[in-house]
Structure 1
C-alpha cells in the first residue's frame, strides 16, 4: 500500500519550496550516478562500487578506523574528508525504485515538516 497524499491542511498559498528543491537535487544526483555507472535499475558494476564507497558514508572511514575498503575488485581508499560523506550519502540512491520510493515519501511528508518549521 503506497500513500498518495496526506490530509494535513496548510496555509493558503503554501508551496513546499524546500521539498521541491530537495527532490530536484536528488533527481540530478541520480542522473549523475547513471552517467557515471552507465546503469539505471541497479548499480552493480565496478564504477558503481567505487562511486558508492567514495561518496557514501562508510562507517569505518568516517570514524577513521580504516583507510580503504577491499571490494573484491580492488581497494577503494577512503575520501580525504570522510565526514563530508555524511551529507553526500543522503543524496545517493541504489536504483530507480529506491529513488522513486524515497521521493514519493519526501513529497508526501516533506511539506508537513516544512510547514511545521514555519518556512
Structure 2
C-alpha cells in the first residue's frame, strides 16, 4: 500500500552490517581460541559486569559497547548474526551507514543498561549483540 522506495531509489550496500557481522565472528574466534582462564580474564575485561559498573562507572562504561561483540557460544553467535544479516541491511539502507551504526550501538548500550538496572549487584557477565539486534528488529517492524 505504501511503498518504502520511489522508483528512482536504489538500495545501498550494507557495508556496516557486513562489518558488524565480521567483527562479531572475529571476536568469537578469538574467544574460542583462549584457555578457560584466559577467557574468564577476557570476559571480565570486556563484558558488562553489573556490580563493577555500579561501583566504577567511569572505568567500566566502555563495556556497554565492547560486550556487544562477545558471545556465549556458537548458537548465540549464529542466531544473532542470522537476524542481523536478514534485518540489518534493511535498516542500514533506510537510515544510511553512519546513523545505522550509531543506532545499532546505542540500542546495544541501552539494552546493557537495562540489564544492569535489573541486577545492579550481579557478578554475572552480560554479553552479546542481542540487545542491539532487538533494536534493529524493532526498527524493522
- TM class by shorter-chain length? 0.5 to 0.7
More strand by share: 1
Match of 2:112 in 1: none
Deviation of residue 93 (structure 1)? 0.3
Once the two structures are overlaid, the 10-residue window that deviates more, 53-62 or 92-101, is 53-62
Contact 2:48 2:63 in 1 (8 A): yes
**5+ long unaligned stretches in structure 2:** 98-141
Matches within 5 A, 1:1-119: 11-12=9-10, 14-37=12-35, 45-64=36-55, 81-119=59-97
Backbone CA RMSD of aligned residues: 2.2
Mapped partners of 1:54, 1:116: distance in 2: 35
Contact 2:11 2:93 in 1 (8 A): no
* Number of equivalences: 90
TM-score by length of 2: 0.56
List, as ranges, runs of 4+ consecutive aligned residues in structure 1 with deviation greater than 2 Å: 11-14, 45-51
User: Greater Rg, structure 1 or structure 2?
Assistant: 1
Are the aligned partners of 2:14 and 2:92 in contact in 1 as well (CA < 8 Å)?
Answer: yes
Q: Which residue of 1 aligns with 2:114?
A: none
User: Unaligned regions of 5+ residues in structure 1, if any?
Assistant: 1-7, 38-44, 66-79
Could you state the TM-score of these two structures normalised by the residue count of structure 1? 0.65
